[in-house]
Each structure stands twice: as structure tokens, then as C-alpha cells.
Amino acid sequence: MHRITLMPGAVTVTPTDFDTFYRANRDAAVRWAVALVGDRAVAEELAHDALAAVGPRLAELDNPVGYLRRSVVNRGTSWLRSHAREQRRIHRATAGQPTTYSAETHEMLSALASLPHKQRAAVALRYWDDWTDEQIAEALGCAPASVRVLVHRALATLKKEISR
């Protein structure tokens, strides 16, 4: 039988061991995740990710089911935070606006789509999420001065695109 060594000197786990653990705990992990996030599709993803995190550590864990529970809860909490931030961004973007885009919004989205990726990202992060030049630079892998150049060029291009 094929055995997987986790690290030198570590206990080995066979694929069958993990398969057995996965089958025995998958449904429960999905139930826990559904209770946490309220969405079956998201819950299945979270449960799968949590089970995948247990796999490499299965032989070294004293309480693999407890570790799985904690992993599901942590992933659920992270997803809820992320989802809440996304919902707030959507709410801010659409507050007081009709549910369909206006002609001006379509025009702006088209103009943004015409920008190169880094310029579009710099403008979006600066004006959509109020990121600093340093935060944008870290995300884009460039210097803060480069971010200022990207934003300047993007705004110039947007002015030309929108004035047409």
C-alpha cells in the first residue's frame, strides 16, 4: 500500500486513512459550515478546504475532529467577514442609486475597462476602498511613487475617454 510521509521522523498516513476520515466527517463539516454561513454551496467549499487542511496533519493530531471543527469555524468566520465587507462595498456603491446603472455609470465602467490592469487597480483601490499609496504599492508590487504615476495616467486617460 502507498504511504505518505509527512516529514522526516513523522508518523505516516495512508491515503485510506484520510479517505476514511474524510468520508466519516464530510457531512458533519458541511452541516457545521451551513449553520455558520447559511449558504450550502459556500459551506461545501469551506468544509472541503477544512478537510484538506486536516489531511496533511492527520497523523500528528491528537483530536482530528476537534481540529476539523476549529478549521470549519475559522473558515466560516473569515468568509463572513469577507462577505460582510463585500456587502458594505456594494451598499456604499449603490446607496441612493437606482438598481440599474445609469448611462454615466456605464460610461465610467467602460472607460475603466479600457485602462491597463495596474492603472485600473490603482484607481479602483484608491477611490473605491480609500487605500493609501503604500497599501496599493504593496498589493501591486511596485513603489508608492509608481502608484502615484499610475493614478495620474489613469485619470488623464479617463478624462479623455469620458469627454468623447
First to last CA, the chain: 69
| CA atoms of 45 and 83, how far apart (whole Å) | 14
Please report the domains of the chain, with CATH numbers, ordered by start residue.
4-93 (no CATH), 103-163 (1.10.10.10)
- pLDDT score of 99: 61
| CA atoms of 123 and 137, how far apart (whole Å) | 12
SS3 content of the chain, % helix, strand, coil (to 5): 75, 0, 20
Grid-cell match 476514511, residue found? 20
- Would you say residue 53 has pLDDT above 70? yes
64 φ, ψ (degrees, to nearest 5): -60, -35
| CA atoms of 35 and 47, how far apart (whole Å) | 12
Q: What is the dihedral of CA 17, 18, 22, 23, to 10 degrees?
A: -30
137 and 112 Cβ atoms separated by less than 8 Å: no
* pTM for the structure as a whole: 0.49
- pLDDT score of 15: 62
Per-residue model confidence as pLDDT tens digits over 69-108: 999 999 999 998 998 888 888 878 777 665 677 788 778 8
